[in-house]
C-alpha cells in the first residue's frame, strides 16, 4: 500500500491542489471581492475540477515510472525503485488506467455541471499528453521538458480560465459596458503560470542531468545526453539569471510596493541565486539533486506570493 502511495507523488499532488485553491481564493476571489464581485463557480464544482486534475496527474506519475523502469534501475537505488519491484508492471498499468479513468469521469462531471460537454475533452487531452510524454516526448531534446512545463503552468490557468468563462456567461452585460474588467486577474494568474513554466523547465533540465546515465542506456535523447552535462548546466544557469531579471522587471513595471520587493528578493530571487551558484559549481551528477530540490522549494515560495496579494487586497 505504501508503494501505491509513493508512486503517485502525494506531496506533488498536494501542491497541485493547494495551487488551485490559492489561485481561486487568494488571487481571483481577492480581486473580485475588492471590486464588490464574487466567484461564479460553486465550491463543489471547483472541487470536481481540482480532483480531476489531481487524479490525472497521479496517473501521469504512474505511467512515467512504468516507462522509466529500465532507466530508474540505473539512476535510483533499490529503495527508490517501485515499478518492477514493489509493484509489478501489470499492476502499475492497471493503477494508471484506474487513476486516469477516475480523473476523466470527474472532469466529465465538471463539464456537465458547467453546461458544456466539450470541456471534458480538455481532461482527455491532458491525460493523452501525459501518456505520450512518458512513451515518446520525454526521450526528445527539449520536447518533453517543454510539455511538462506547459502542463504545470496549466494548473493555475485552469482555475482562472473556467472562472472567466462562467463570469462571462453571468455578467456579459457588465463586461461589454466596461463596468467590469477581468483582465487584471487574468494577468496576475498568468504571472504565476509563467513563473511555474520557466522554473519547471529549468528543473527538468537539472533532472535530465541527474538521470544522464540511465537515459544514455535507454537511448533517450535529452539535452544533457546530446550536448553534454557542461552545456546543460550552463543553459540552466543562464535561464535562472533570466528568470531573476524577469522577476524584477515585473516588479518595477507593474508592482512597486515594498511587500512585493521584500518577498521577491528574500523568498524567490535569493533561492534562485543559490540554485545558480550550485549549478555553476557542481560537477558531480549526483549532487544536482540539491539544485532540483532548491528549485522545487522556490516554486513553492513563488506560489506563496499569492498570500501577499490576499493580504494587500483584504
Mean pLDDT computed over 20-40: 92
Residue 163, pLDDT > 60, answer yes
* CA atoms within 13 A of residue 198's CA, in its CB half-sphere: 20
Contact 308, 263 (CB under 8 A): yes
Q: How far, in Å, CA of 312 to CA of 302, rounded? A: 16
Q: How far, in Å, CA of 277 to CA of 251, rounded? A: 23
Mean pLDDT computed over 229-244: 97
Q: Categorize the per-residue pLDDT at 78 as very low, low, confident or very high, splitting at 50, 70 and 90.
A: low
Contact 7, 83 (CB under 8 A): yes
Portion of the chain with pLDDT greater than 90, in percent: 75
DSSP per-residue string spanning 63-88: HHHHHTHHHHHHHS-TTT--BTTTB-
Q: pLDDT digits over 98-107, tens only? A: 999 999 999 9
Mean pLDDT computed over 239-263: 95
Q: Categorize the per-residue pLDDT at 79 as very low, low, confident or very high, splitting at 50, 70 and 90.
A: low
Give pLDDT, residue 244. Answer: 98
Q: How far, in Å, CA of 289 to CA of 209, rounded? A: 9
Give pLDDT, residue 175. Answer: 67
Give pLDDT, residue 174. Answer: 67
Contact 229, 89 (CB under 8 A): no
Q: How long, in residues, is the chain?
A: 314
Report the 3 state secondary structure along 107-156: HHHHHHHHCCHHHHHHHHHHHHHHHHHHHCHHHCCCHHHHHHHHHHHHHH
The alpha helices in the chain, defined as continuous H runs, are 2-6, 10-22, 29-34, 43-67, 69-75, 89-114, 120-135, 143-177, 183-210, 212-217, 223-227, 229-250, 258-263, 270-281, 288-303, 305-313
* C-alpha 207 chain-centroid distance: 15
Helices 10-22 and 143-177, axial angle in degrees (round to 10):
20
Mean pLDDT of the chain: 92
Give pLDDT, residue 34. Answer: 86
Q: pLDDT digits over 117-144, tens only? A: 999 999 999 999 999 999 999 989 999 9
Mean pLDDT computed over 67-87: 76
pTM for the predicted model, two decimal places: 0.95
Give pLDDT, residue 261. Answer: 96
Amino acid at each position: 500500500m505504501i508503494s501505491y502511495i509513493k508512486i503517485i507523488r502525494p506531496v506533488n499532488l498536494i501542491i497541485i491542489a493547494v495551487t488551485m485553491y490559492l489561485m481561486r481564493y487568494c488571487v481571483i476571489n481577492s480581486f473580485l471581492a475588492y471590486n464588490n464581485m464574487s466567484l461564479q463557480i460553486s465550491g463543489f464544482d471547483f472541487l470536481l475540477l481540482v480532483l480531476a486534475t489531481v487524479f490525472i496527474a497521479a496517473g501521469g506519475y504512474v505511467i512515467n515510472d512504468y516507462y522509466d523502469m529500465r532507466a530508474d534501475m540505473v539512476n535510483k537505488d533499490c529503495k527508490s525503485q517501485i515499478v518492477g519491484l514493489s509493484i509489478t508492471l501489470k499492476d502499475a498499468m492497471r493503477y494508471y488506467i484506474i487513476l486516469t479513468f477516475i480523473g476523466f469521469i470527474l472532469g466529465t462531471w465538471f463539464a456537465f455541471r458547467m453546461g458544456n460537454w466539450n470541456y471534458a475533452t480538455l481532461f482527455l487531452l491532458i491525460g493523452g499528453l501525459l501518456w505520450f510524454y512518458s512513451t515518446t516526448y520525454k526521450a526528445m531534446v527539449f520536447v518533453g521538458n517543454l510539455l511538462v512545463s506547459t502542463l504545470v503552468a496549466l494548473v493555475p490557468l485552469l482555475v482562472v480560465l473556467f472562472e472567466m468563462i462562467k463570469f462571462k456567461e453571468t455578467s456579459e452585460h457588465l463586461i461589454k459596458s466596461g463596468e467590469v474588467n477581468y483582465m487584471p486577474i487574468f494577468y496576475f494568474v498568468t504571472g504565476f503560470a509563467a513563473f511555474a513554466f520557466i522554473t519547471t523547465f529549468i528543473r527538468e533540465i537539472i533532472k535530465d542531468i541527474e538521470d544522464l546515465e540511465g537515459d544514455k542506456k535507454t537511448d533517450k535523447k535529452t539535452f544533457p545526453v546530446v550536448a553534454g552535462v557542461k552545456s546543460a548546466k550552463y543553459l540552466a544557469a543562464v535561464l535562472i539569471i533570466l528568470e531573476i531579471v524577469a522577476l524584477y522587471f515585473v516588479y518595477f513595471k507593474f508592482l512597486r510596493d515594498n511587500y512585493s520587493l521584500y518577498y521577491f528578493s528574500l523568498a524567490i530571487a535569493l533561492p534562485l541565486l543559490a540554485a545558480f551558484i550550485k549549478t555553476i559549481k557542481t560537477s558531480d551528477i549526483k549532487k544536482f539533486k540539491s539544485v532540483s530540490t532548491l528549485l522545487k522549494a522556490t516554486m513553492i515560495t513563488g506560489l506563496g506570493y499569492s498570500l501577499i496579494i490576499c493580504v494587500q487586497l483584504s
